[in-house]
Structure 1
Amino acid sequence: MIQTLAKPQTTADVPKLGLVCITTSPEVRFKTMTRKRLLQLDEAAQTEALRSLYGENLRRLNLAITFCEDHQIQLYRLISSLFPFSDTALGDRILAEFGEALRQVGDRAQTTGLRLVLHPDQFVVLNSDKPAVIANSITILSAQARWFDLMGLPQSPWAAMNIHGGKGDRAERLIQVIGDLPDQVRSRLTLENDEHTYSTAALLDICQATRVPLVFDAHHHLVHERLDSYDHPSVGQMLAAARTTWPEPTWQLVHISNGREALHDPRHSDLIAAMPTSYRQAPWIEVEAKHKEVAIAQLRQTWLRQAA
């Protein structure tokens, strides 16, 4: 049964707005390396290249934490390419060298009250028709869960690893694969509705079957259902239904974006011009806008100020 939302939150409980990966300014950026480039190097050079890259991205992650602290941002989504190739034996070995530094980063984030989450890339598909794709997806998720383990982050959806439902009409396969995931992955896994394949209602059934939290995305819901407003009754209803899938309701995480050129445009706009009224009761909101921290500042000056 779909639940109705409770009374609006008090000023002390207004939603916390999260930064996604990088900033519009150059303050938060990360280095990367293509597989082609890595494979051009001999083994010794690959080792040194990854060691340098991991060390530099750790330094930049510390800068990201500083940025969030300076701007009173309490939620940060790590970039999924933070430690590229850590799903290989070489990458995993080098990552282990940074174990102490990673623990310090995790401790610092928790000390400053910064919640760290992750959105693995779209090629992570747990219900593919191809067993090799599923196996590779699990390898990637396991490597990224190791980042969180080395940081000392909890094995719970507080440190969410969020993915989409994947292939359509494969709900049973998705449920089965999730049930067999390694504990360090499954304990952090969340699922997000998308604009084309898995509706919020369909994913809600999967989340209830797997006991995996649902990350509700209002824009994806709007596009999928061809709604005419973020304040359509089903937005608030699905927000409330998604909340029931979280083991701790105050951990509930949602996403917001607007269409770039039209209401149902799946591409993200620069800023957030329209927010669901029901989102005033969402504890944690990732702001998926092209202008990143600028969009967060604008929402604080307009939408959050109105909420207060």
Structure 2
Amino acid sequence: MRIGYACINTSLPTKFKTCRLATFEKKGPDIIKELTINNLQNVLAALKWNVEHNMYFYRISTEIVPLGSHQNMTWEWWTDKDILSLTSTIKQFKEKHNIRLSMHPGQFTVLSTPRDDVLERSFLDLEYHDKVLNLVGGSDMIIHGGGQYGNIELAKERFIKHYHMLSDSIKEKLRLENDDRTYALEDVISIYRKCGIPICFDIHHYICHNRNGILENMMEHVFESWKPFGRPKVHISSGKTHVKDRSHHDYVFKHDFNRLLSLVGDREVDIMVEAKLKEQAVLRIQHEVFSPS
């Protein structure tokens, strides 16, 4: 079992830099390259810190290459020798220490959309994330179902149709997560049954939004969905003010983590901790749950 966190390391701290479109149009690709090198160096620094603290799972920021998926981007960053040198170093470090790397495209990357322009941008964004993951040796790209657009059954059919339009490289990495408002675990399972996409189970999202199905039975489908793709990946967070608060707490409570472990049983999984204090939350879990009393 590997336990990790997302993007920012508050102990270093990690400093990922972004760029506005107007700045790119004024200064050109050189500013994007400068920021990308900075961001990749921060990834490497975070990974080294993680290994020192027995953390072998890490979500890479979606902003590694600022504007990397924008249609106006002219710089072919994935062929730049300086970028390839850094990503190769990250990949070698990842392989040496058996680190799992993932990414999580943002909320505007949706496959259920009825709009052609949104779908085109979503495809571009998934291609961008796929390129990053290929260069650093990452394995997982997590997305949500998106909106229901007045009819969730039709939205799910569009998701399935658009999923089949993706490249094999993207489909090998893409995982569908249940969300806390629209796509309950039952919906995600129904999509999986028709296209085979692995299910990234989020226990806090399930607590916030479910249709009262028998969770233990649904978890069998979750783990089944991963069989062609390796070890399952699951998410955990605790509500900020109460159990169904969609906002994340600074930490994950011990009883919440133990509930997830009870659902996992003796299966091998990797757990992404989604807490405001990032690696500090993982350190607390390591102490409270796994350290001898």
Give the TM-score normalised by the residue count of structure 2. Answer: 0.88
The one-letter code sitting in structure 1 at the alignment partner of 2:57 is: L
How far apart are residue 58 of structure 1 and its match?
1.6
Change in CA separation of 1:137 and 1:75 when aligned onto 2, cut-off 3 Å: same
User: How many equivalent residue pairs?
Assistant: 279
Residue aligning to 2:275: 289
Residue aligning to 1:66: 48
State the alpha-carbon separation in 2 of the partners of residues 301 and 235 from structure 1.
Answer: 28
Structure-to-structure mapping, 1:163-178, within 5 angstroms:
163-168=143-148, 169=152, 170-178=155-163
State the alpha-carbon separation in 1 of the partners of residues 121 and 229 from structure 2.
Answer: 32
The one-letter code sitting in structure 2 at the alignment partner of 1:253 is: K
Residue aligning to 2:104: 119
Residue aligning to 2:198: 213
SS of alignment partner, residue 76 of structure 1: strand
The one-letter code sitting in structure 2 at the alignment partner of 1:258 is: S
8 Å CA contact 1:23, 1:292 repeated in 2:
yes
2:116 is the counterpart of 1:131: yes
2:80 is the counterpart of 1:94: no
8 Å CA contact 2:186, 2:211 repeated in 1:
no
Question: Relative contact order: is structure 1 or structure 2 higher (C-alpha 8 Å, sep ≥ 6)?
Answer: 1
2:270 is the counterpart of 1:278: no
CA offset digits 1:173-228 (Å, max 9, x no partner): 0000001101221111000001111110111110121111000001111111388x
Give the TM-score normalised by the residue count of structure 1. Answer: 0.84
Gap regions ≥5 residues in structure 1: 1-14, 228-232
Give the alignment partner of residue 84 of structure 1, picking from 66, 71, 79: 66
Change in CA separation of 1:205 and 1:184 when aligned onto 2, cut-off 3 Å: same
SS of alignment partner, residue 275 of structure 2: coil
Gap regions ≥5 residues in structure 2: none
State the alpha-carbon separation in 1 of the partners of residues 214 and 252 from structure 2.
Answer: 20
8 Å CA contact 1:50, 1:91 repeated in 2:
no
CA offset digits 1:23-76 (Å, max 9, x no partner): 23243231111223323x1xxx22210111111112111101111111111100
Residue aligning to 1:20: 6
Give the alignment partner of residue 247 of structure 1, picking from 220, 224, 227: 227
> Over aligned residue pairs, what C-alpha RMSD do you find?
2.1
SS of alignment partner, residue 209 of structure 2: helix
Residue aligning to 1:52: 34
How far apart are residue 250 of structure 1 and its match?
5.4
State the alpha-carbon separation in 2 of the partners of residues 263 and 62 from structure 1.
Answer: 35
8 Å CA contact 1:190, 1:215 repeated in 2:
yes
Change in CA separation of 1:249 and 1:38 when aligned onto 2, cut-off 3 Å: closer
Residue aligning to 2:287: 301
Give the alignment partner of residue 125 of structure 2, picking from 140, 154, 177: 140
The one-letter code sitting in structure 1 at the alignment partner of 2:47 is: I
State the alpha-carbon separation in 2 of the partners of residues 101 and 297 from structure 1.
Answer: 28
